[in-house]
Amino acid sequence: MKTTDATRAAGLERLAAFTPRMGRHYTAGRNFDLGPDRHKDVSGLSPYLRRRLVLEEEAAEAALAAHGADGAEKFLQEVLWRGYFKGWLEHRPSVWTSYRDGLWRDLQALERDRGQRREIAAAEAGQTGIDCFDAWAQELVQTGYLHNHARMWFASIWIFTLGLPWRLGADFFYRHLLDGDPASNTLSWRWVAGLHTRGKFYEAKAWNIAKFTGQRFAPREQDLAVVTEGLEGQEPKGLPSRSPLRQPRVPKPDAPSLLLITEEDCCLEDFQIEQLDLRGVIALRSAHLRSPGSVAEHVLAFEHAALKDAAARIGVSCEIRQAGVERDLAKWAVDLGAEQIVTAFVPTGPLRDWLDTAEPSLQAQGVDLCEWQRAWDQAIWPHATAGFFKVKKAMPRILGQRQLV
């Protein structure tokens, strides 16, 4: 996907092109990974949905209009998965903290383990000798995308066959995926490893890979580990208790404001910008915060282009800056004479961590950090307390609440 594609116009064009296939074609073909440039029965919308260049609500509305609730059921469920994972992590932000801190420990251990460094390097370069795994590693690095089924197979082989730390695999994905999202990526890897739903894990099987790659790959059974249990023994028994959903501070109308655009939501024209006394607009580059390691250039470039597009659509003069020293945020606001910073809701993840670290300096300068929250998230997140079934069961109510059915 080219950087020039990182616009709302390009996302809506892709949405319109795929809408005819959101029904029976998607239901029948969504699990088949036919290889790069042949992903015809999946939408390729995820880099746009992740940044809200295209809204989940728009995708759901298009599917319903074209295929009805029954015909589009599978596609609608997949759209809701993204909201489910975000909401689940909002209820349990300590799971993100555990991943973040555990990744640091894994990276420090890697520095001391030359053998594991060679194994990780071979896995990331696609040089393990497992043909399917190696092809997926190379596709990810080259394109920034992997089919969802391939992501599950890859993660299972990484964890159980190669015996590599799951957080380092999640970090590899997060550094390269154009649609990399802290909730979806972290929780998907945890699910494969058997940490998300205790007692359940994902085992990559040779017959399954052969069938759903259209025989592109035919690994031998002995090439893949037989998995009898997940990694739940590596963490304290049971999931952390749920926290109340964070309630954002609401912007004050007419207060001198700094508008902050981030890749968490690049459709700010949906919000009440005209009510703000705008003193300045900053687009904040934050994709580099995804990892202590090097984030892929195509990820950084896509974010940059998406931020430029978001600013252009609301017709404002905008500076693009990088999230660096956290106290700089307060300085930017004070220099502009702003009493509040206004942005779209920033969920749990690396940018939320950065903003939380910046909060004391904002308070010291009397600057409020305010957020707009989308009704779509407000409709889904209260149901995202356990497994996906609860959200799936509530899907008619959620869609009805948003007046889509």
Q: Has residue 59 got a pLDDT over 90?
A: yes
Residue 354's pLDDT is 98
Residue corresponding to tokens 């910073």: 341
| pLDDT mean across residues, the chain | 95
Tokens linked to 385: 């307390």
Is residue 231 a contact partner of residue 192, using CB atoms and an 8 Å limit? Answer: no
The highest-level CATH class for domain 3-90+379-401 is: mainly alpha
pLDDT (average), residues 13-19: 97
First to last CA, the chain: 33
Residue corresponding to tokens 């790659």: 213
Confidence label for 14 from pLDDT (cuts 50, 70 and 90) = very high
Interatomic CA distance for residues 155 and 133, integer angstroms: 9
Tokens linked to 289: 């915060």
Q: Has residue 302 got a pLDDT over 80?
A: yes
- The per-residue pLDDT for range 342-389, each reduced to its tens digit, is 999 999 999 999 999 999 999 999 999 999 999 999 999 999 999 999
* Among candidate residues 167, 180, 163, 125, the one with its CA nearest the CA of residue 298: 180
The contacts of residue 232 (CB under 8 Å, 6+ apart) are 194, 195, 198, 199
- The per-residue pLDDT for range 95-126, each reduced to its tens digit, is 999 999 999 999 999 999 999 999 999 999 99
Confidence label for 2 from pLDDT (cuts 50, 70 and 90) = low
* Cβ atoms within 10 Å of 334's Cβ, excluding its own: 16
- The per-residue pLDDT for range 251-288, each reduced to its tens digit, is 998 899 999 999 999 999 999 899 899 999 999 999 99
* Among candidate residues 16, 12, 22, the one with its CA nearest the CA of residue 53: 12
- The per-residue pLDDT for range 120-158, each reduced to its tens digit, is 999 999 999 999 999 999 999 999 999 999 999 999 999
- The per-residue pLDDT for range 66-75, each reduced to its tens digit, is 999 999 999 9
- Give the DSSP letter of residue 296: P
Confidence label for 4 from pLDDT (cuts 50, 70 and 90) = low
Q: Has residue 1 got a pLDDT over 80?
A: no
What residue spans define the domains of the chain? 3-90+379-401, 105-234, 256-373
Residue 176's pLDDT is 98
Buried b (16+ CB within 10 A) or exposed e, 157-178: bbbbbbebbbbbbbbbbbbbbb
- Give the DSSP letter of residue 349: S
Supply the CATH classification number for the domain 256-373. 3.40.50.620
**Domain 105-234 CATH (choose: 3.30.1490.100, 1.10.579.10, 1.10.12.10, 3.40.50.150):** 1.10.579.10
pTM value is 0.96
Least confident of 92-101, 136-145, 221-230, 393-402: 393-402
**Backbone dihedral region for residue 238 (phi beyond 0: left; psi -120 to 50: alpha; all else: beta):** left
Confidence label for 162 from pLDDT (cuts 50, 70 and 90) = very high
**CA-based radius of gyration for the chain:** 21
Q: Has residue 403 got a pLDDT over 90?
A: no
Residue 198's pLDDT is 78
Q: Has residue 197 got a pLDDT over 90?
A: no
At position 357, the amino acid (one-letter code) is T
Residue corresponding to tokens 């730390």: 165
List phi, psi (to 5°) of 368: -90, 140
The contacts of residue 115 (CB under 8 Å, 6+ apart) are none
Q: Has residue 238 got a pLDDT over 90?
A: no
- Count Cα neighbours of 21 within 13 Å in the Cβ-side half-sphere: 17
- The per-residue pLDDT for range 378-390, each reduced to its tens digit, is 999 999 999 999 9
Residue 377's pLDDT is 96
3-class SS of residue 96: helix
Residue 55's pLDDT is 97
Residue 216's pLDDT is 96
